[in-house]
Amino acid sequence: MTGTILQIENVSRVFPGVRGGAPVRALEPTNLQVAQNDFITILGPSGCGKSTLLRIVAGLDRPSGGRVLLNGREIKGPGADRGMVFQSYTLFPWLTIAENIAYGLREKGVPKSQRQDIVASYTEKVGLRGFENHYPKQLSGGMQQRTAIARALANDPEILLLDEPFGALDNQTRGLMQELLLGIWERERKTVLFVTHDIEEAIFLASRVVVMSARPGRIKADIPVDLPHPRHYTMKTTPEFSGLKAQLTEEIRVEALQAEGVH
């Protein structure tokens, strides 16, 4: 086990009430340690504050209390050291696929020839060769998210943050994307924080599944996934996988019921 890269210390988030309403506690004080090369999935029902937590790590939202440390330095705002993939399609529509992947490198001032090499290698890794000069609109949802992953990785971030990146994709595409992402992680050993509400996805990808409770969000369980690597999609039908799935389904079900106000 290598050292801790990301430390979430007592991070909470309270949204001010709208029009004199009561403030909303989206996130209870939360602690989480992420080790180098971990693949952590944060699993929870909608509205449990899991995206809020990820946005705080990304620096796109400020915690109401607590702090987040990346390699010991407190996070004050967004930066290139944390790559982010969003659920919505956020490729820049006026740039081609290659230009989108090169965006962060350009901002960093990486010289053009070097930029081209990096772009070529990531285009290859996400299987988009031949589409370099297409515009995002010409690509399917799955291809756009693959580009978004390549765009985040090309920046060589310390940690990759993904906020339900496959949530809008159909089931088959989602399965393929999970394998692609896992393949990249197995090869490059990035540190990944992945938010999802899909139990199977959470288990299949993770080395650790963090289960969050319904509003106000807090971490309810932290379950290691010791399934062997490299993982193949057939793993989803093994007894070990099913056992984990049953356990997590139970955890999540209670929370979902609570979130929906059913007791």
- Give the count of residues interacting with other proteins (CB under 8 A): 29
Q: Is 80 in the site for other proteins (CB under 8 A)?
A: yes
Query: Does the footprint of other proteins cover residue 90 (CB under 8 A)?
Result: yes
The yes or no reply on residue 5 touching other proteins (CB under 8 A) is: no
Q: Which one among 138, 238, 242, 249 touches other proteins, defined by CB under 8 A?
A: 138
Among 62, 76, 108, 189, indicate the residue that binds other proteins (CB under 8 A).
Answer: 108
58 is a contact residue toward other proteins (CB under 8 A)? yes
Burial of 112 (0-12, 13-18, 19+ CB in 10 A): exposed
- 92 counts as binding other proteins under rule CB under 8 A: yes
Q: Which is nearer to other proteins, 67 or 134 (CB)?
A: 134
Cβ-based nearer residue to other proteins, 143 or 252: 143
Q: Single out the segment in contact with other proteins by CB under 8 A; choices: 57-65, 68-76, 223-231, 239-247.
A: 57-65
Per CB under 8 A, does 42 bind other proteins? no
- Residues forming contacts to other proteins in the complex (CB under 8 A) are 58-60, 77-80, 82-84, 86, 88, 90, 92-95, 103-104, 107-108, 134-135, 137-138, 151-152, 155, 161
